Amino acid sequence: MLLPTDTVIALRCPECGRLELFHLSRFAISKQRPGRVICSCGVEKAKVLTRDHAAYTFEVCCTICDLRHSYRLSGKKLYSSEVTPLLCLETGLELGSMGPRDKVRAAIQTYQEELEALIDELGGPNYFSNPDVMFEVLNYLQEMADEGGIFCPCGKNRIELEVLPDRLELRCKNCERISTIYAETEQDLLYLQELPAIELARYGFCSLERTTRSKKKGIKRDNK
């Protein structure tokens, strides 16, 4: 029986926000030499350590809560034939994934195709003040929403999205609460990536304080 000897890790950088794929070989990691996931900007995103190749410690710089998470994984799990999501231990939101290259790329490609179709419906990239930032913001919001990280205090969570040239507006159709997310500069994107979740407010932009993250962890969307 052939054993898988490599995996691909998809992670966003906590410094520049880029989502990149990293190849990790079983033979590149040893007790004396941990595997390191380095962003193209030079920042270390993650580190993989092992003593015997039977169990691994995977340390990740979380882009959601700014903490460093540590995961214990068996060799079978790390080099699985299926995609394994990496979840923020504070919020439960997905911060990355690992698995076979084709499956990880397919998951990312699905997100990108959906967002590109949305941009085309709005008139193409020229519609936006900064198309690159808008694309990244839309992608990040999609991931956050899929994990239940966008919600309304009224409990209905019938949330609609309006896309404008320089910002997005999330509005609850039940109670009219609204949140505005700006998407014009790199700072707008970095600010969004620092938020553990988004709670709609009566006016303007309202985000959760870090001390209340765990209380909101189980909230999911109900868009019926």
- Examine the domain organization and report whether 58 and 142 are in the same domain: no
pLDDT band at 203 (very low <50, low <70, confident <90, very high): low
- Examine the domain organization and report whether 37 and 115 are in the same domain: no
| Structural domain span for residue 206 | 109-216
pLDDT band at 95 (very low <50, low <70, confident <90, very high): confident
- Examine the domain organization and report whether 92 and 117 are in the same domain: no
DSSP the chain: -PPP-EEEEEEE-TTT--EEEEEEEGGG--SSS-EEEE-TTS-EEEEEEESSSSEEEEEEE-TTTS-EEEEEEEHHHHT-SS-EEEE-TTT--EEEEEE-HHHHHHHHHHHHHHHHHHHHHTT-GGGSSSHHHHHHHHHHHHHHHHTT-EE-TTS---EEEEE-SSEEEEEETTT--EEEEE-SSHHHHHHHHT-S-EE-BSSS--B--GGGTGGGTT------
- Is 222 part of any domain? no
Domain boundary among 29, 63, 96: 96
- Examine the domain organization and report whether 211 and 116 are in the same domain: yes
Each residue's pLDDT tens digit, 152-196? 888 877 788 888 889 999 988 888 888 899 999 888 988 898 888
pTM score: 0.51
- Examine the domain organization and report whether 12 and 44 are in the same domain: yes
- Examine the domain organization and report whether 137 and 200 are in the same domain: yes
